[in-house]
Amino acid sequence: MSFTRFTLIAALAFTSFAPEIGEARPLRNGGKLLLTNGISSLEGASGGGMTPWAVIAGNETSDGIGLSVHGTMVEVKDYDYQSAGAAIGWRDRIEISYAHQDFNTNEIGVALGLGKDYAFSQDIIGAKLKVAGDLVYDRLPAIAVGAQYKKNNNATIVRAIGAQDDEGVDYYASISRLFLSRSILLSGTARLTKANQLGILGFGGDRHDSYSVQFEGSAAWQLSRRLAIGGEYRAKPDNLAIAREDDWFDAFAAYAVNRHLTASIAYVDLGSIATVKKQRGVFFQLQAAF
C-alpha cells in the first residue's frame, strides 16, 4: 500500500467518525487518570513500550484534543536504537501518530559488510480508532483498531539481505482494561504484519512473503498513582533466511513525574538481531503529554 493510499484511508476514517458540525461540542480541558494514556510504543502508537494499547494519545478526554511527544533509546549488547515522534488524540477516539527510527549497527556493521556505525532508518505514520468501551469507566474494555504505514530508508540494503519490500503496512486490533480496584492493567494485541524487526530490515523475505498474525501482550500493576511496573511480550515473524528473528520480552517501570511528563525504563530481551544472538539491554523513554 502506498503512502498516498494510506493517508487517504486515514483521512476518510477521521471524517467518518468525527462529530457532525451541527453536533460538535465545545472543546475543553479534561484529564485522564495518571498513566492511563500509556507511553509511546517503538512505532509511535500510545500504549506500552513494545506494543500499542486500546488507548488514545494525550491527556484529554472525550471533550478535548490531546498531544504527546516522545524520545526513546534502546541500548542492547551490540546495537543501539533511537526514535522520536508525536501523536495527536481527537476526543479520546482517534489517534494519528508519527515516529522516526534509527538503528545503529555499531561495530557489528563491519562484520555484516556494511561498515562501522552503519544505521538503518525508518519512518512510521499510524492511525488508531477506539471503536468501543473504555480503559476504566465503561462496562466494556477499550477496543481499538489501527494501521501503521512504514517506509524503510535503506531500500538497497534490505533487499540485498532478502527482504521483498522497503515499505509496508501493519494492521492491528487491541483490547485493554484497567481493573481499578486491583490497580492491574491487562492488554492484548493481534497484529497482521510482514515486517522484519519492525520493518528496520524491510518487509517479507526469502523464507516467507505473506502476512502473518502475531500476538502482543502487556500486564502492569500500578503501585501508586504515579508508579507502575509490568512486563510485555511481542511475537515476531521470521521471514529472512539470513537473520533469524526472535520474540521480544521486557520488564518495565513507568513513573509520572507530573501530569505532563512520564519517564519509563525497562530491561529488554530482543533475542537474535541481524545474525547476532542475546541482544539484551535497557530501554529508556521520556514522554510529554498534554
Query: pTM of the entire structure?
Result: 0.88
| pLDDT score of 19 more than 50 | no
Residue range 75-91: average pLDDT? 97
| pLDDT score of 281 more than 50 | yes
* pLDDT band (50, 70, 90) for residue 204: very high
- Please give the Cα distance from 259 to 164 (Å, whole number): 44
Q: Is 134 exposed, middle or buried (0-12, 13-18, 19+ CB in 10 A)?
A: buried
Domain extents for the chain?
3-289
Cell 509490568 sits at which residue?
230
Q: Provide the residue type at 95 as one letter.
A: E
Residue range 53-76: average pLDDT? 96
Residue range 148-166: average pLDDT? 96
Q: Rounded to whole angstroms, what are the CA distances from 77 to 3, 98, 105, 121, 269?
A: 34, 27, 11, 19, 10
CATH architecture classification, 3-289: Beta Barrel (2.40)
Render pLDDT for 146-155 as a digit per residue (tens, 0 to 9). Answer: 999 999 999 9
**What pLDDT shows up at residue 3?**
44
* Residue 132: count of CB within 10 angstroms of its CB: 12
**What pLDDT shows up at residue 111?**
86
- Specify the 3-state DSSP secondary structure of 170: strand
Residue range 93-104: average pLDDT? 98
Render pLDDT for 3-12 as a digit per residue (tens, 0 to 9). Answer: 444 443 444 3
Exposure class string for 222-252: b at 16+ Cβ within 10 A, else e = beeeeebebbbbbbbbbbbeebebbebbbeb
Percent of the chain with pLDDT over 90: 85
Least reliable range by pLDDT among 60-64, 237-241, 259-263? 60-64
- Specify the 3-state DSSP secondary structure of 150: strand
Residue range 160-188: average pLDDT? 97
* pLDDT band (50, 70, 90) for residue 16: very low
Beta-carbon contacts of 85 under 8 Å, excluding residues fewer than 6 positions away, are 40, 44, 69, 70, 97, 98, 99, 100, 124
- Please give the Cα distance from 109 to 114 (Å, whole number): 5
Q: Provide the residue type at 112 as one letter.
A: L
* Cell (9 digits) for 47: 500504549
Largest CA distance in the chain: 62
Backbone angles phi, psi at 147, to 5 degrees: -145, 150
- Please give the Cα distance from 230 to 250 (Å, whole number): 8
Radius of gyration over alpha carbons of the chain, in Å? 19
